[in-house]
Structure 1
Amino acid sequence: MRVTIVAGARPNFVKIAPIINQILDAKPKGNSIDYRLVHTGQHYDKKLSGTFFEELNIPEPHINLEIGSGSQAEQTAGIMIAFEKELLNNPTDLVLVVGDVTSTMACTIVAKKNQTKVAHVEGGIRSFDQTMPEEINRMVTDAITDYFYVTSEVAVNNLKRIGVKEEAIFFVGNTMIDTLIANSSRLKEPQIFKDLSLKKEKYIVLTMHRPKNVDEESKLKSFLEEIISSSNNFPIIFPVHPRTKNIISKLNVNFNNLHLTEPLGYLEFNYLVKNSLCVITDSGGITEETTYMKVPCLTLRDNTERPETITQGTNKLVGTNPKKIKASLSIIFDGKWKKGKVPKFWDGKTAYRIVQHLLTLDI
């Protein structure tokens, strides 16, 4: 079996790394399976280079389509045109897509119109918020996917509600957790940890990237002021995108305990998270990692596509009203935050289960 694996952004590579490793492990054992890794180039990240691939033991992509940035329509069209040529030049039995970026949706459409089967890793997750581009990508992808590898029972039920047949749904777990477990002994102390003499559970990690939260100066200022004033003067470490950093520089905010740093590598960032008192974020993936590491997490969103991180894990949906942050932080400082548990199949064996199923397919 030939499998074309598609990745378009940095989180995608974290998700596909263990799948590739399992394919490479299965092949010498007499299994007829091989892969081709296609990087669409949807997101350019200078840290997504040889160092990143080496850091997570990910083989270099066979091709980078180098799509780059653009509007939603421009990016989708560019990916579809380039990926169609890729499939024509390199026919495959199955296209495997992950997550919910534009590349996931665009390559799924191209594959299906090329009469090629599609498997969606992380299928079925929903925020039910169609103002999010990612939600549109999920809905379109899942409408035409053939095989669904899902992270939770909630995702299973979401797929059943839209008419997906049970035999197409495979509850396998979370490949992001595979990667986290595989690298848990390799997490690396970042320089800022030394520079600020940080102590375990004596600092807060902050990440914000969603346009609704960071592009409007007054909204971002309100968030930062509330987080700072509610932090008990704990250091707040904010790995920040350069564009957001420029916006912050224009704000009249007291930065006494807010420390901005460049985006960190995978091993350094997760070291920071693991040893923190808590994480404040608007990311989805981070809520999964904090759930596994049992680190308290406050999510600055009104909805989430990963409800298991709330119902089972250590995450809480705080919402987008900055005034709600203080009460949640007070619970953490008082030592009364929920302990949480690790969801079913978040055990480091998800990629193994996926590849074992791929080996049974007659396509």
Structure 2
Amino acid sequence: MSQIFTVLGARPQFIKAAPVSRAIAEAGMTEVIAHTGQHFDALMSDVFFEELEIPKPAYNLEINSLGHGAMTGRMLEKLEEAMLAEKPDIVLVYGDTNSTVAGALAAAKLHIPVAHIEAGLRSFNRQMPEEINRVVTDHVSALLFCPTQTAVHNLTQEGIVAGVHATGDVMFDTTIAATERAKGRSTILADLAVQPKRYAVATIHRAENTDDPARFARVVAWLEEAARSIPIVMPVHPRTRKLLTQRGAMPTGLKLIDPIGYLDMAWLVNQSAATFTDSGGLQKEAYFHRVPCVTLRDETEWVETVDAGWNRLWTTSDYAPRRDIPDYGDGRSAITIAEILKAAI
């Protein structure tokens, strides 16, 4: 039976993997999952496997809390060992994290074809480690699953045309299913004592915002100013909470909560009036829920959301005229990807 070796490590990857893993199984293929441990907190890892019914990982590498070089190097070493043991037909990676590039490099050096879900995204800011991870992964991949036509164009500009497929966005698949489940199960609004469409959701976790004290202070000040107009609920990444604690004074107007499960987060965003984030995934999820977003970065790889008027950078004050984005597909992207994988093996 055909075997796919999947590398996961961070919250957005768990979300993307849910419909794909299901489609892989339904297509009659075997999947072996390796969890690098990049996100290791139960609230940012275990709960996603449970709520989204992702198969249990065969490998738990528990590699985290290290610098980029050390983390990527250890992942590369351990993933290579696992791939040598499993001898998969294809290695599947998601997104743009250290786990992504480590999985892609380990497979490429072993001459195992790499399939990259969310290929072709570019912020064109090489100061972002995620941008380096995207570019390197795409250039060693044999199958490149693009969520948008812009992503296809970006690859063409870099000379990558073989194995490129416009499949739509698997996160849309997940959002549709999760929102329907959350509608009848989530009690998050009652738990937080907030009213539908009368609050905003915020998250901060990107290194470009958290590693620079001056920039972090600017982001927090921006959120405090926004909170003067609308209450803000902010699930706090562990690294961000540490920085806020070191700051000495907690932000005013923000309801800080621990990270929450995907179903609760889906419903919290769905019922919000706005989303403020530096997360690539949450920018799209906001659009899927038709909630306007402000991206707390100076650029975004999801340019479609800006062009379509559902997203804007915090450095601008106005949204473009609002319209739908057909590129993201019809909620069957995972099935398309599984069919292409099966045909390639």
Q: TM-score, normalised by structure 2?
A: 0.92
Please tell me whether the aligned partners of residues 233 and 257 of structure 1 are also in contact (alpha carbons under 8 angstroms): no
Shift of 1:196: 4.6
**1:143 — aligned with what?**
139
Specify the code of the residue in structure 1 equivalent to 2:269: V
Shift of 1:123: 0.7
**1:350 — aligned with what?**
333
Q: C-alpha distance in 1, partners of 2:302/2:48?
A: 26
Residues 118 and 24 of structure 1: CA distance in aligned 2, closer, same or farther (over 3 Å): same
Shift of 1:63: 1.3
Q: C-alpha distance in 2, partners of 1:110/1:243?
A: 28
Q: C-alpha distance in 2, partners of 1:104/1:222?
A: 30
Please tell me whether the aligned partners of residues 27 and 342 of structure 2 are also in contact (alpha carbons under 8 angstroms): no
Residues 9 and 263 of structure 1: CA distance in aligned 2, closer, same or farther (over 3 Å): same
Please tell me whether the aligned partners of residues 206 and 279 of structure 1 are also in contact (alpha carbons under 8 angstroms): yes
Shift of 1:347: 1.8
Shift of 1:314: 0.8
Please tell me whether the aligned partners of residues 50 and 60 of structure 1 are also in contact (alpha carbons under 8 angstroms): no
Residues 26 and 195 of structure 1: CA distance in aligned 2, closer, same or farther (over 3 Å): closer
Shift of 1:277: 0.9
* Pairing 1:95–2:115 present: no
Q: Cα deviations across residues 227-277 of structure 1 (Å, max 9, x unaligned)?
A: 333444421111112332243245476855211111111111111111111
Please tell me whether the aligned partners of residues 99 and 121 of structure 1 are also in contact (alpha carbons under 8 angstroms): yes
Please tell me whether the aligned partners of residues 11 and 45 of structure 2 are also in contact (alpha carbons under 8 angstroms): no
Please tell me whether the aligned partners of residues 80 and 107 of structure 1 are also in contact (alpha carbons under 8 angstroms): yes
- What secondary structure is seen at the aligned counterpart in 2 of 1:126? coil
Residues 218 and 139 of structure 1: CA distance in aligned 2, closer, same or farther (over 3 Å): closer
**1:360 — aligned with what?**
343
* Pairing 1:19–2:35 present: no
Shift of 1:190: 4.7
- What secondary structure is seen at the aligned counterpart in 1 of 2:7? strand
- What secondary structure is seen at the aligned counterpart in 2 of 1:183? helix
Residues 23 and 291 of structure 1: CA distance in aligned 2, closer, same or farther (over 3 Å): same
**1:169 — aligned with what?**
164
Shift of 1:50: 4.5
Specify the code of the residue in structure 2 equivalent to 1:52: F
1:1-363 correspondence to structure 2 within 5 Å: 1-27=2-28, 33-48=29-44, 50-165=46-161, 167-187=162-182, 188-191=185-188, 193-251=189-247, 255-312=251-308, 314-319=310-315, 327=317, 338-361=321-344, 363=345
Residues 251 and 338 of structure 1: CA distance in aligned 2, closer, same or farther (over 3 Å): farther
Residues 93 and 196 of structure 1: CA distance in aligned 2, closer, same or farther (over 3 Å): closer
Please tell me whether the aligned partners of residues 95 and 118 of structure 2 are also in contact (alpha carbons under 8 angstroms): yes
Residues 255 and 105 of structure 1: CA distance in aligned 2, closer, same or farther (over 3 Å): closer
Identity level (%)? 37
Specify the code of the residue in structure 2 equivalent to 1:248: L
Higher mean C-alpha deviation, range 346-355 or range 306-315: 306-315
Specify the code of the residue in structure 1 equivalent to 2:68: Q
Specify the code of the residue in structure 1 equivalent to 2:63: I
Q: C-alpha distance in 2, partners of 1:57/1:338?
A: 38
Q: C-alpha distance in 2, partners of 1:340/1:318?
A: 20
Please tell me whether the aligned partners of residues 217 and 251 of structure 1 are also in contact (alpha carbons under 8 angstroms): no
Residues 195 and 55 of structure 1: CA distance in aligned 2, closer, same or farther (over 3 Å): closer
Residues 345 and 90 of structure 1: CA distance in aligned 2, closer, same or farther (over 3 Å): same
Shift of 1:216: 4.1
Specify the code of the residue in structure 2 equivalent to 1:353: T
Q: TM-score, normalised by structure 1?
A: 0.88
Question: Cα RMSD between the aligned structures?
Answer: 2.1
Please tell me whether the aligned partners of residues 121 and 149 of structure 1 are also in contact (alpha carbons under 8 angstroms): yes
- What secondary structure is seen at the aligned counterpart in 1 of 2:326? coil
Q: Cα deviations across residues 310-355 of structure 1 (Å, max 9, x unaligned)?
A: 1135111223xxxx6xx45xx8xxxxx8543133243210000001
Q: Cα deviations across residues 171-213 of structure 1 (Å, max 9, x unaligned)?
A: 001111111111121125454x325531111111111112332
Instruction: Report the count of equivalent residues.
Output: 342
Specify the code of the residue in structure 2 equivalent to 1:348: G
Specify the code of the residue in structure 2 equivalent to 1:24: A
For structure 2, list consecutive stretches of 5 or more residues without a partner in the other structure: none
Residues 267 and 156 of structure 1: CA distance in aligned 2, closer, same or farther (over 3 Å): same
Q: C-alpha distance in 1, partners of 2:283/2:242?
A: 26
Residues 351 and 232 of structure 1: CA distance in aligned 2, closer, same or farther (over 3 Å): same
For structure 1, list consecutive stretches of 5 or more residues without a partner in the other structure: 28-32, 332-336
Larger Rg over CA atoms: 1
Q: Cα deviations across residues 6-54 of structure 1 (Å, max 9, x unaligned)?
A: 1121211111111110122222xxxxx2211111222312225554312
Specify the code of the residue in structure 1 equivalent to 2:55: P
Higher mean C-alpha deviation, range 219-228 or range 236-245: 219-228
